[in-house]
Structure 1
């Protein structure tokens, strides 16, 4: 027997975009159901970086105290070690107060926080372990989704269906919106290293001889990502674990004392890096946001934050429409087009910046970014040019191209808690 639920909005996917949109719609009194494929939010590879743009929204939601109770690392400055030379690459202290740093928090903790806050709204419902298998149609109009749960099939009927189910979105595939794929020359291997006994300055990345190692400081360990050539993981494994560890030692000598903690390929996961964007973000009765609309590269760690910005823009535009009594599908569809118009440009610009960075780091192992010691020209650039562009980089990474704010009528009175 098929269980049925009727709601105003059904959101497929409980990631940053889906949970933030569900929270905001619930706060605004809009009936919303969020379907999350897994039984919990714990996934080892999910972005950790919570940028100032997102922290501003956490403050707007009035959940900063709850956020602060979750273990996290906060860095006002992001350093990179390039060919053995430490650079103060990004300094968020140039941004307006109060949020002038980047926060590293496991994404599952952030999602648990958003879900807990959303549950305070009686119009919000979260269904875990509900794997969306397809959409339902009336003619050319989407009317909801089908999902598989441990108890059997679930049909959710909705006036609006939102695809927030990631880069491999089932809903996006069903909508057949067309996807533009942008070639990326790298993939990412993902693993943990213990923190060295001797303190190591917090460092976002190491670059040497064409190798790039990302090091994200989590409370008890370093979450690391080593860039490899696209589709090259089988070659990396064929070379052996000793060669993999040696490569880490070469690019980040200060981590040499802990790299022997990698003993098996079972400790190393592969992220296939991709950049893509749907040609249309919506069709009758359905909208794509977050990775379902645009897969982002790990460059600058903007994925979470752009997904959240999508959700806020969608809530700001949709809530006034969904609150109107007797509003028809045509009015909702017009609002969906407005969401795309607002978010397409900042997404496209950030993806173009990411592709430029990929072009630089994809040049190969012979690439020299800085000489050691630096040449006269490089020293002048470090001393004179970098301080000038550092605030611009902080603004680009911290806020993106169009940071969103939650409208007052979306927040409601509970937004001041």
Structure 2
């Protein structure tokens, strides 16, 4: 039995990009159906670091209040290279409405977005869980405009017919594959092994820590309520070799980066199933849209984990696209109007994404340096450490692309923008 639904927009993927977009569309009285493959929002090592610009947007969208107590502000960043601190940044000195990145479990964020849509905008917002999209519905054959999707659910097949289909289904996007939109996957020279440990008592829980030793580095991220997420680099495709060396090789690697965790890693990580591998790559998608379909978030521009940019750009994408889609429907909702909106969305977002990707790739190259390159890296970090303006410039490329700095920015902008939606000018 096939169930049919009709909406103006069908969003494939109930992650930060998809749900933020759905809420923003429903708020604008655009009917939207979200198809989410999972039956729950339980996700570990997925987008828990939220950049300051996204925190600012979540506040403006009325979501942050729903997350009170579920997130933790981060006040500092510290880079230690070869046992010496080479860079400290204090976010409390950054003059923005929301200067702090936050650590927020993704299930809490997604639940807050879903409940907001279901409670406030139920006439226009529908979320279907356990729906696995398997086909794009096209008009006039396989190369025609997209008119929706079909999906498998435990109750049978579902067809959603929509004027616009949005692929928000992450870095391994099935919608992108089915659409035929070309892309280039650029593997980086490393992968990351993630694990979670009890938070060490000698650390404060408001500091991001980066530890570097030669060409090895680790990220140490406080995680509510009392854990630390640890991510350390291995060569691309190197997990098999690391596992062949046994868990002692993992322990010794962390000993060199963070001896404070030597005891807990041995007591908590007893098998490789206690770790998670993240395949690190970036994806370049020349064209994010085609008639009837547009990609957003990681489906359109996969980024690396550095500085939490995946969630950041996913949320900004959603807030940028929603008013453009609303305008297209106000113009009649034709295929041509929606395609123009999708193309305008890409034009407005591409430069910002490219800027963040460039910053991430430069950091990746710095982390990989060793020998004489390591001396250069340490010198560079020390130069940045001596200047607050340089810190603001370097981190501003990732963290502060939307917020405007200035005296009394926190008080003036947060009160002026609370409850306002859309980006000024949709840059």
TM-score (norm 2): 0.88
* Cα shift at 1:350: 1.6
In structure 2, do the counterparts of structure 1 residues 167 and 90 end up closer, same or farther at CA, with 3 Å as the change threshold?
same
2:52 counterpart of 1:45: no
- The reply on whether 1:207 has 2:212 as its aligned counterpart is yes
Inter-partner Cα distance in structure 1 for 2:102 and 2:131: 30
Closer, same or farther in 2 for the Cα pair 1:108/1:194, shift >3 Å?
same
In 2, the alpha carbon distance for the partners of 1:24 and 1:157 equals 20
Q: Give the Cα separation in 1 of the matches to 2:402 and 2:217.
A: 26
Contact (CA 8 Å) 1:91, 1:390: kept in 2 or not? Answer: no
Contact 1:346 1:402 in 2 (8 A): no
Q: 1:297 Cα shift?
A: 0.5
| CA distance in 1: counterparts of 2:401 and 2:333, whole angstroms | 34
Q: Does 1:306 align with 2:306?
A: no
Structure 1 residue 77 corresponds to structure 2 residue 76: yes
The answer to whether the 8 Å contact 1:312/1:406 transfers is no
Answer yes or no: is the 8 Å Cα contact 2:13–2:168 preserved in 1.
yes
Counterpart of 2:63?
63
Whether the 8 Å contact between 2:87 and 2:382 is mirrored in structure 1 is no
- How far has the Cα of 1:367 moved from its partner? 5.4
TM-score (norm 1): 0.90
Which position in structure 2 is the counterpart of 1:5?
Answer: 5
Provide closer, same or farther for how the CA distance between residues 369 and 106 of structure 1 changes in structure 2, counting only shifts above 3 A.
Answer: farther
RMSD, matched Cα: 2.4
Other-structure match for 1:111? 110
**Partners of 1:407 and 1:222 in 2: CA distance:** 33
User: What secondary structure is seen at the aligned counterpart in 1 of 2:237?
Assistant: coil
Are 1:319 and 2:319 matched, yes or no?
no
Following superposition, the deviation at residue 360 of structure 1 comes to 2.4
CA offsets 1:30-64 (integer angstroms, 9 cap, x no match): 10001111001111120111111111112212233
Aligned twin of 2:383: 381
Asked if 2 retains the 8 angstrom alpha-carbon contact of 1:316 and 1:406, the reply is no
Q: 1:124 to 1:10 in 2, by over 3 A?
A: same
2 CA distance for matches of 1:294 and 1:333? Answer: 19
- 1:220 deviates by 1.7
1:269 shift after superposition = 1.0
Question: Counterparts of 1:114 and 1:349 in 2: how far apart (Å)?
Answer: 28
> CA-to-partner distance for each residue in 1:200-247, whole Å, 9 max, x for gaps?
563332111221111111122111111111111101111110111111
Cα deviation code 1:139-165 (max 9, x no counterpart): 210000011111011100000000000
What is the Cα deviation at residue 97 of structure 1? 4.1
Aligned to 1:221: 227
Secondary structure in structure 1 of the residue aligned to 2:374? coil
